[in-house]
Amino acid sequence: MSKIIATAAIRGAHQIVNAAEERWKKAVDTHGLKAEVAFPETAYFLPITYGLLGMPIKTLGEMEKVFSICHNLLPEPVSEGIHLPYLGPVLDAGMATLFAEEMVEAINYLEEPDFYVTDEEAPEGKMWLGAASDIILRKRGIEFVDGTAPGFAAIVGAAPNEEVALSMAQELQQRNLYVFMCASHQNITFAEQLKKAHMQLGWPVRLVPFGPDISQAVFALGFAVRAAMSFGGIQPGEYRKILIYNKDRIFAFVLALGEVTDQWYANAAGAINFGFPTIADSNIPQILPTGVCTYEHVVSGVPHREIVAKAAEVRGLKVTVSQIPIPVPYGPAFEGERIRKEDLFVEAGGGRSLACEWATSLPLSEVEDGKVEVIGPDLDVLPEGSQISLATVVQVAGREMQEDFEPILERHIHDYLNYINGVMHIGQRDIVWLRISKKAKEKGLILKHLGIVLHAKYHEIFSSIVDKVQVKIYTEESAVKKICDQARIFWTKRDERLQGMTDEEEETFYSCTLCQSFAPTHVCLVTPERTGLCGAFSWLDCRASHRINPKGPNQPVKKGLVIDAHL
């Protein structure tokens, strides 16, 4: 390991632990040893301390034993005249840093309870979200398990300007990564740069501003610890399992933007314990040999236009970015985007106009693959602020396609349109609400691009059953009404078919393990008369899911012989 980095990291760790202890002593003088401390709305206490040490810290007095551990972990400052193998001491210094900073943040919550916001987004006039609540952990953490979000980028500091910050954030979003932000460079933070560039911040768009100081890095690493305990089934105190889980399962890395201080080095050392490398834009010393991290530990001097790709490479992150020919960014990170009235270019549905979407199957000869038609005016001729009628019809064909698969395909229209930056989509069938922003229109987005997205995603996700996809988008009110009336007939038939089915007449039921990512021992048995406990998957849906993906979460279960006809 670089002696320069070791010197800086250990020196920074001493600074942080000593400053934290002074802060603690002042808090004890003010509030007393019995004053309660916690991160709000979580059962994980101070999560890094709880997860790695197995110690639930509830009061200021209980912090004293953690400071004792920090001092035991802190190595002696590096001697100028002796060169030693520094990896172990630096990793210990990094952990002492994280324990100390977590206690500082707990004291911040005690003394400034209104500084952080506990919701997914900050209201007007507020910025910093602080530690995620358990509700956010359950809602967002599952995405790290099912692959929707392969990991996160912890950004420390700030980009040279707002344009670079915007470009980096969007590239990270397109790779489906969460962006956790803390610390400042030259008195500006990355989050403030994004806000000035009119980017929406918060958990729904995966741009999470934790706070303005380096100590808020513990909120990112604390989230990783909680994910390991919550979704990995690891018990508090099993530090080795938690660290290995994060190295193998959470593809995270640190992006250090700006001058790297001793305290930044100390936090980077803490992150290396988790297998999270640091990639810097400045020319700091590098740690290129592999060891704790999958590949390199510290890579520096990376140009901003290359830094996201380099970070993914160093972390060993394999991300599939759908290359769909539309003029705006695309990916699940944009799913939570809201479009307010002042940002609106065009709107359809939502109780203000008629709108529907319908997926149906046709014979192969009746579908022209890749054909996308807009019947009626498109965005390029509509005035700003228009409220239009809209019907989206996706027609698919395939040798393995069956009528039962149609509802599965139809439900995904919502997901795939919501992934478009500048498009907000809510609902399904004939209770659709779609909004398109002024920015998206200015970049060249038109309604035809919605069809291009659906064509690409259906082929990408449902290639086993879909051979051809064509999309028709109607904007003339009379045509939309006709399509909606026609679709309602099909929807009624679908619903009646399921309602008429009984457990008695079917010989095969289906298991459902979709929720095992967060309930590892749970399995539902879905029958024609009984959905899964979540209520989301019917027997027909499970059967269709199994045929689409035979090795997936829905497996056939033969009913077998009756044990007791009455019960």
Average pLDDT over residues 425-433: 91
d(CA 278, CA 366): 54
User: Can you spell out the DSSP letters for 267-293?
Assistant: HHHHHHTTT--EEESS----B-S-SSS
d(CA 14, CA 71): 9
The letter for the amino acid at 501 is: M
d(CA 361, CA 397): 6
Least confident of 40-44, 373-377, 528-532: 528-532
Tokens read off for 552:
């997936």
CA angle 256, 248, 274 (to 5 degrees): 45
State residue 407's pLDDT score. Answer: 85
pLDDT at 322 over 80: no
d(CA 309, CA 317): 10
Report pTM. 0.76
pLDDT at 329 over 80: yes
pLDDT tens-digit map of 503-518: 888 899 999 887 765 5
State residue 155's pLDDT score. Answer: 98
Cα–Cα distances in Å, from 432 out to 127, 348, 392, 563? 32, 8, 10, 46
pLDDT tens-digit map of 339-358: 999 999 999 999 899 999 99
The phi-psi region of residue 198 (left if phi > 0; otherwise alpha if psi is between -120 and 50; otherwise beta) is: left
Band (320; pLDDT cuts 50, 70, 90): low
d(CA 544, CA 527): 13
State residue 369's pLDDT score. Answer: 85
pLDDT tens-digit map of 238-262: 999 999 999 999 999 999 999 999 9
CATH numbers and ranges of domains, the chain: 3-315 (3.40.50.2030), 332-499 (3.30.1650.10), 508-558 (3.40.970.20)
Q: What is the rounded average pLDDT for all residues in the chain? A: 91
Tokens read off for 407:
């509802």
d(CA 207, CA 227): 18
d(CA 333, CA 206): 6
Percent of the chain having pLDDT more than 70?
A: 97
Bridge partners for 372 per DSSP: 471
